Amino acid sequence: MLAPILDGKRILLVISGGIAAYKSLDLIRRLRERGAAVRCILTEGGAAFVTPLSVAALSEEKVFMDLFSLTDESEMGHIRLSREADLVVVAPASADILAKMAQGLADDLATTALLATDKPVLVAPAMNHMMWAHPATRANIASLEAQGVRRVGPESGDLACGEVGAGRMAEPMQILAAIEAQFAERTSLAGRRALVTSGPTHEPIDPVRFIANRSSGRQGHAIAAALAQRGAATILVSGPSAEPDPAGVEVRHVETAAEMLAACRAALPVDVAVCAAAVSDWKVANPATQKLKKDVTADGAPPKLTLAANPDILASLGGAGNRRPRLVIGFAAETENVVENATAKRRAKNCDWILANDVSPGTGTFGGRENTVHLVSADGVEDWPTLSKQAVAERLAERVARHLAAAS
Ligand code: CTP
């Protein structure tokens, strides 16, 4: 009996040029045996190694080959092709197609569909070992992985070119296992409840002015999306942010720290809480109810703002007694002694994990697209490489799923 996980799943398989393309025929067969629908794009290079006829026969679908085919575009545009899939697999992934993907080139149907897709992508590289080891390929792979592209293989061994080394495409059964794992991941948080805070808070000075910070909300929104994609019922409590509401997430829009705390309390109980918001530590003690005018003080001096402390939302969740989430995760935005300060914050706020990040001006983390974090837990410190905020979110969601599964 074959595991039902692939039953009814739609795979878009891109077959690029390389002798390993013959193995993709077996991959199609195995996917079909497990009930997956397989649509294939065959690149010009791929078609030099396997025929469209064999691909069509095994997939029991029309094979897509030419970007500018009028019939193909009217029957099934490249956008639809890339969207009507649950997963896009590139096998074999040649050095050339990986380079194009990394650069965002779109000069044929395969690369256009890959650029247009909003679905997870898995690549199975296959090439000569020198090509695989080349710094250009290394950089392309690193860039793709930072974008969230997954990889299976390559393996080491005899290569078709007669040389020996790393570059042989993973075997079809290995690729199949990677595909199954990717689908299994999507339900890894099913039945769990998650709460995420994100963005800055705005603390009013008067009806038109406020105290804020440079947080974009990108990291928190990406975390909420990654948890929801794994099946968690996710509530995102967000301060003002230009980020769109993530799909499948219940979003509560708030402005101030006090509103954020109230929305978080109302969301309990949850299994996991991730506090990624850059909450303003202070608010104006007595915000003016009318706009402050320039002549607000008798002597014309600027008004003095008296600040009051805001509630600490993370600490409040960490100390929520029997309503405490099983896993409480915070961030630590630091500009010096990153790990030491984060370790102290973890204890002070009674949270389980802290993702420590350096937000010094040169790092571009605040408001930027990338993040370099250190995961601080009771077990020690784990340094993560610089990743896109989306990739940080994916990694964190995976860790959360593993932790909750092990704890229950
Ligand atoms: N945090 C919070 N509520 C606050 C302040 C911070 O929930 N009022 C959370 C943040 O979401 C983050 C963590 O606490 O997960 C640490 O935030 P950070 O700004 O690094 O630390 P602070 O507690 O503000 O301490 P300091 O500014 O002194 O470094």
Rounded to whole angstroms, the Cα distance separating 116 from 113 reads 5
Cα 302 to ligand 1 centre (Å): 29
pLDDT at 391: 86
- Residue type for position 60: E
* For the chain, percent of residues with pLDDT exceeding 70: 97
CATH topology of domain 193-407: Rossmann fold (3.40.50)
The distance of Cα 273 from the centroid of its chain, to the nearest Å, equals: 17
Mean pLDDT of 25-43: 97
- Regarding predicted confidence, which is higher, 361 or 266? 266
Cα 259 to ligand 1 centre (Å): 16
- Best residue among 202, 203, 256, 331 to mutate for probing ligand 1, ranked by most atoms within 8 Å of CB: 331
Rounded to whole angstroms, the Cα distance separating 106 from 97 reads 10
Q: Tokens at residue 228, please?
A: 């929801």
Among 345, 339, 321, 350, which residue's Cα sits nearest to residue 384?
339
Highest mean pLDDT among 10-24, 296-310, 333-347: 10-24
351 catalytic residue (yes or no):
no
For the chain, the domains span 4-185, 193-407
Q: How confident is the model at residue 67 (pLDDT cuts 50, 70, 90)?
A: low
The residue contributing the CA closest to ligand 1 atom 12 is 331
Mean pLDDT of 346-374: 86
Does residue 193 carry a pLDDT above 60?
yes
User: Could you read off the pLDDT of 201-257 as tens digits, one per residue?
Assistant: 999 999 999 999 989 999 999 999 999 999 999 999 999 999 999 888 999 999 999
Mean pLDDT of 60-68: 85
Provide the residue count of the chain. Answer: 408
Cα 277 to ligand 1 centre (Å): 8
- Best residue among 197, 219, 281 to mutate for probing ligand 1, ranked by most atoms within 8 Å of CB: 281
Cα 312 to ligand 1 centre (Å): 7
* For the chain, percent of residues with pLDDT exceeding 90: 76
Rounded to the nearest integer, the mean pLDDT of the chain is 92
pLDDT at 126: 97
Rounded to whole angstroms, the Cα distance separating 406 from 408 reads 6
Does residue 28 carry a pLDDT above 60?
yes
pLDDT at 64: 93
Mean pLDDT of 380-387: 91
Rounded to whole angstroms, the Cα distance separating 406 from 101 reads 36
User: Could you read off the pLDDT of 71-122 as tens digits, one per residue?
Assistant: 666 656 778 888 899 999 999 999 999 999 999 999 999 999 999 998 899 9
Q: What residue ranges line ligand 1, CB within 6 angstroms?
A: 197, 257, 275, 277, 279, 281, 310, 312-314, 330-333, 345
pLDDT at 76: 64
Rounded to whole angstroms, the Cα distance separating 23 from 21 reads 5
Cα 331 to ligand 1 centre (Å): 7
Mean pLDDT of 145-169: 88
Does residue 291 carry a pLDDT above 70?
yes
Rounded to whole angstroms, the Cα distance separating 191 from 396 reads 18
CATH topology of domain 4-185: Rossmann fold (3.40.50)
Highest mean pLDDT among 64-73, 160-169, 240-249: 240-249
- Best residue among 236, 238, 312 to mutate for probing ligand 1, ranked by most atoms within 8 Å of CB: 312
Q: Tokens at residue 293, please?
A: 């005018």
Mean pLDDT of 140-147: 88
- Regarding predicted confidence, which is higher, 25 or 76? 25
Contact 64, 109 (CB under 8 A): yes
Cα 314 to ligand 1 centre (Å): 7
**Is it true that 4-185 and 193-407 share their CATH fold?**
yes
Atom of ligand 1 nearest to the CA of 310: 8
Rounded to whole angstroms, the Cα distance separating 179 from 124 reads 11
Mean pLDDT of 289-295: 91
Please write down the HEC assignment for all residues of the chain: CCCHHHCCCEEEEEECCCCCHHHHHHHHHHHHHCCCEEEEEECHHHHCCCCHHHHHHHHCCCEECCCCCHHHHHHCCHHHHHHCCCEEEEEEECHHHHHHHHHCCCCCHHHHHHHHCCCCEEEEECCCHHHHHCHHHHHHHHHHHHCCCEECCCEEEECCCCCEEEEECCCHHHHHHHHHHHHHHCCCCCCCEEEEEECECCEECCCCCEECCCCCCHHHHHHHHHHHHCCCEEEEEECCCCCCCCCCCEEEECCCHHHHHHHHHHHCCCCEEEECCECCCEEECCCCCCCCCCCCCCCCCCCCCCEEECCCHHHHHHCCHHHCCCEEEEEEEECCCHHHHHHHHHHHCCCCEEEEEECCHHHCCCCCCEECEEEEECCEEEECCCEEHHHHHHHHHHHHHHHHHHHC
Rounded to whole angstroms, the Cα distance separating 25 from 47 reads 12
pLDDT at 68: 66
The residue contributing the CA closest to ligand 1 atom 16 is 332
- Residue type for position 273: A
- Measured at the CA of 146, the angle between CA 144 and CA 149, to 5 degrees, comes to 50
Does residue 300 carry a pLDDT above 90?
no
Residues 40, 161, 264, 275: which is the catalytic one? 161
pLDDT at 350: 96
Atom of ligand 1 nearest to the CA of 331: 15
